[in-house]
Amino acid sequence: MKKTILSGMRPTGRLHIGHYVGALENWVSLQGDYQNYHLVADLHVLTTNTNTSNIEDYTLDMVMDWIASGIDPEKSPMFRQSQIKQHSELFLIFCMLITKSRLERNPTLKEQVRDMEIDNMIYGHLGYPVLQAADILLYKGNLVPVGEDQLSHIEITREIARKFNFEYGNVFPEPDPKLTKFSRLPGLDGKAKMSKSLGNTIFLSDAPEDIFASVKKAVTDTQKQRKNDPGRPEVCTVYTYHEKFNPAETETIAADCRSGALGCVDCKKRCATAISDFFEPIRERRAPLAANPEKVKEILLDGETKARKVAEETMRQVHEAMKLG
């Protein structure tokens, strides 16, 4: 029997190439070996932003990118968290199994509060790891693909599963982290992370001319002012993109950069071409979905039917174990 994996993202609209390298590529590779469920974490959005006016459009754009990247709805159901009411019920039950002080020790939460400069944290933000635990355990997740920075969340999930099983009976597995080296593409501005909020992205659905315009602005080696100046590819954002999307030429590009034979303008053109070619199949698969968003809604509804069946059975077991009738 295949082990179960649940992965998800908050719906923030179109995805960028950093999302592809950091998550989507891995999700696609796990299909077939595991039973995958993919969650549109729309309730999680509320923990940091209560404005939901764009959430439907953002959801459709994101799911289009999932499908175009290779997520197969037949193998890996995709669904909106808010449409499976059992997520909220299990979250409520799990809230009774963990203390406020334990949640406040979560290092990832502390980083979010610092980075987002949050002065007055809402209850839902403090408890979002509990909602995440409900998301995972509702589908009896055995493995959770995470980077090392997310291990604290998985430990909270394991603690909650252990506590429930001790109090009421063995219902939930204690999921193991599936450590994944989530590569992080630097942003066009050279910042450590590509991020929409920083405006330093290239989107999966960008047209070739938009990719060329974006790469043209990318930060390179600040010491290489003219073509003949020797460059340092190891500190160049554009070279990092070459390593991922143009591996066949990286050795030559690095040597020519260091010798001064290759200027930044030509290097950027070659990089933009490589990125455009790499994502051309995704753009082609996405186009008919963008032209027919109702098809994407149907895919979500189908995924929600499949997910709801699993969620209902899990909650039946929870009710039985808790003697709730």
- In this structure, of 156-160, 181-185, 218-222, 267-271, the range with the lowest mean pLDDT score is 181-185
Q: 37 phi and psi, to 5 degrees?
A: -120, 135
Does residue 182 have a pLDDT over 60?
Answer: no
CATH of region 4-185+293-322, choose from 3.20.10.10, 3.30.420.40, 3.20.20.70, 3.40.50.620: 3.40.50.620
In single-letter form, the type of residue at position 137 comes to L
Does residue 183 have a pLDDT over 70?
Answer: no
Give every CB contact of residue 105 below 8 A, 6+ residues apart in sequence.
Answer: none
CATH superfamily of 205-286: Tyrosyl-Transfer RNA Synthetase (1.10.240.10)
- Residue 7: count other Cβ atoms within 10 Å of its Cβ: 24
Confidence (pLDDT) at 150: 75
Does residue 147 have a pLDDT over 90?
Answer: no
* pTM of the full structure: 0.92
Predicted confidence band of residue 44 (pLDDT cuts 50, 70, 90): very high
Confidence (pLDDT) at 46: 93
More confident residue, 256 or 299: 299
The residue-averaged pLDDT of 46-74 equals 95
Please give the full DSSP string across 197-240, using - where no structure is assigned.
GGT---BTT--HHHHHHHHHT----TT--STTS---GGG-HHHH
Among the listed residues 319, 307, 322, the one whose alpha carbon sits nearest the alpha carbon of residue 85? 307
Share of the chain above pLDDT 90, in %: 74
In single-letter form, the type of residue at position 126 comes to L
CA distances from 162 to 137, 141, 172 (A): 11, 14, 8
Structure tokens at 63: 């799911």
Confidence (pLDDT) at 258: 92
What is the residue extent of each domain of the chain? 4-185+293-322, 205-286
pLDDT per residue over 81-126, tens digit each?
999 999 999 999 999 999 999 998 888 887 777 877 777 888 999 9
Predicted confidence band of residue 179 (pLDDT cuts 50, 70, 90): confident
- Going across the sheet that includes 78-80, the strands are 78-80, 35-40, 4-9, 143-146, 176-179
Contact 311, 138 (CB under 8 A): yes
Confidence (pLDDT) at 181: 62
